[in-house]
Structure 1
Amino acid sequence: MEQNYSVEDLLHLMAQLRNPDGGCPWDLKQDFASIVPSTIEEAYEVAEAIEQEDFEHLHEELGDLLFQVIFYAQLGREKGYFDFSRIVDTLVRKLVRRHPHVFPSGTLYGSRSAGALDEAEVKRNWEAIKQAERTAKGDSGTLAGVATGLPALTRAAKLQKRAARVGFDWPDIAGTLDKIEEEVAELREALARGDTEHAKEELGDLLFSCVNTSRHLKVDPEAALRGSSRKFEQRFGFVEARLQGEGRQVSEATLEELNRLWDMAKGQRPPGAES
C-alpha cells in the first residue's frame, strides 16, 4: 500500500513551487495580499461541503484550505516573519492557555484536570481569557478586535454578541422583531421622501436588525442567507427549465406567468428530500 504523504511533504512541495529555480511561475508571483481571495473562497467551499453533507469531498476541501495556511507559512519564511512551526507553536500555546479546565498546569503534557466544568462556565472562562488577551494587545473596548474584513453579516453578529455580554441586548426575540418593523417603516419613509442616501442607511439598519433576530434564534446569518440563496437558485432554475421546455426564455414571459411558475416551484420538493 502506498504510504500517505505528510505535512512535511506538503511543506517541501510548497517550497518547490516557490523555488525561483524551476518553481511555478504563478505561485512565484503571489504575495500575502494576492492569495487572500483564494483563502476566503476555500473557506466558503469547506462550509458549503459541510452544509450539503458532502463528506465524500470534505477532506479535499479541507486540504485546499490547509494549502492556504502552508502558502502563507512559506511567504512568511521567505520574508523572515515566521514559518509553519511558529504558526503551530503559537496556536498550541494559545489553545492550552484558553483551556485551563483541560490543562490546569498550563502545559500540553502536564497533569490533566480531574473534574469537568459545565459548558456555561467554560464559555465564561474562555471569554475572560480572550478579553485579557485583547487587553494585553491594547484592545480594551468591548467591541475591540472584531475584524473589519469579516463578511458583513458575520461581523454584525459578532458585534451584537459582544454587546450582549455586557447587558446591551433585547430581553427576548420579540424586541428584535419589533425593531425590524420599525426599520421597515423608516425605510419606507425615506423612500417616500426620495431620500436615497437615507434609504441606504435605513436598509443597513434593517439588515443589522435581521442579524439580531438571527442571533436570538441561535442561527448563523451567513448560513441562513446561503440557504435562501440556494433555494432561490433551485426555484428560479425550475421556472427557467419550464419555459425552456416551451421554447421560451425567461425574459419572454410575462410577470404573471413568472409568478405562476414561481408558485409551482415553491411546491416542489428540494433535491434529496424524502418522497
Structure 2
Amino acid sequence: MRQPRLAAVIAALAALLIAAPAAAEPVDVELVLAADGSGSIDNDELAFQRRGYAEAVMSTEVLNAIRDGIHGSIAVAYIEWGGPASQHTIVDWMVIRDEASASAFAEALVTRPRAAWGYNSISAAIDYSVHKLETNAYEGIRRVIDVSGDGPNIGGRSIHAARDDAVAKGIVINGLVIQRPGGQPRIVGGRPLSLVYEQDVIGGPASFVMVADENVSFADAVRRKMVLEIAGRLPDAPTRAADAQPDGIPTVR
C-alpha cells in the first residue's frame, strides 16, 4: 500500500514543480526602446535610427555602464510604433552583459524587416511597452521606456492617461526628440516638440528629454541617453534658459 501512496506523492510534487513559474532573472534595468516607425519616417531614416541604436548598444560607454551595475546586465527589447493599431516588437527581450550579447542584439536589430504603419500613437506605444515590461521573464531594479520620435501623439487614447498609468506602476518614461539636421524646431500647438515631450510624454523619477539635431547626432544622443538610463541618472549637461521648465525637467542637446 505504501508504494502507490509514495508514487502519488511524487507525482503530485512533480506536477507542482512543473506548474511553478520560473524565477525571474535579476537585471539592473528592464529597458524598452520604443522607436518611431510611423509614416513620417522613410526607409532610409528607419535604417539610420536602427544603426544608431545598434552602435549605442555596442559602444564602450554603454557596455561600461552595464558592467558597473549591481548585476552587470540589462534586459532590452526594441519596438517600433506607428498608428494606434501598429506597435511591433522588432527584437524581443535579450540580456546584454558583454560585447558578444550586445553584438547579437545589434545584428538582430539591423536585419529585421520594417513592420509599423500609420501615424504617431505614442500612447499606444507606451501601453504596448508597459505590457512587455509586465510579461517578461526579468526582474529589474528599474523599468524604463525610452520613446523616440519626430512628432506628437496623434491617435489612440489620451497620452496623459497612458503616461500616468505607466508611472503609477513604477515605470520611468524618457524621451528622445528627433529633429532633422538643418531644419527648424518643430512647433506643435505653439510649443516646441521638445516641450511637448516634456509636458505630455515623459514621467517618473529622474525622467528627461534629449534632442537629436545638428548639434547632437542621433547616434550620440542615443548613446548618452542609454548610459544615463542604465545608471539611473539625470543629464548633468547645462540647459539653455528656454529649455528649463517650471517642473525642473531638462531638455538636453
TM-score, with normalisation over the residues of structure 1?
0.20
Q: Which has the higher strand share?
A: 2
**More helix per residue:** 1
Q: TM-score, normalised by structure 2?
A: 0.21
Largest Rg, 1 or 2: 1
